[in-house]
Amino acid sequence: EERELSEMEVSLHRTRSLLGEKVIHLKHLEQSLERVVNAKKSDNSALPMKNDELTLSDMSSASSGFSSTDL
C-alpha cells in the first residue's frame, strides 16, 4: 500500500507539472491571439465594418499551431 501511495503521489506531481506547463502555454497563446486581434482591428479601423468583432473563423486563421489534441 505504501508503495502504491508513493507511485500515486509521483503521478500526481507529474500531472500537476504537465498541467502547469499547459496553463503557461495557453496564456502565451492567449496573449498572441490578443495581439493578432488588436493588430487586425487597427488595420481594419480605417475601413468601415458591418460587425465590430472578428468572427471565430478570423481568429482561428491566426492560429499559432496549437492543437486541442495537445492537451
Condensed to tens digits (0 to 9), the pLDDT of residues 39-52 reads 988 887 766 555 55
The cell for 54 is: 472578428
pLDDT of residue 44: 79
Q: In sequence order, what E strands does 1-71 have?
A: none
Q: Where are the domains of the chain?
A: 2-63
Distance, in Å, from the CA atom of 69 to the CA atom of 57, rounded to the nearest integer, reads 19
Looking up cell 508503495 gives 3
Residue 37 has pLDDT above 60, yes or no: yes
Angle at 60 between CA 47 and CA 31, to 5 degrees: 85
Q: Whole-model pTM?
A: 0.52
Residue 66 per-residue DSSP state: -
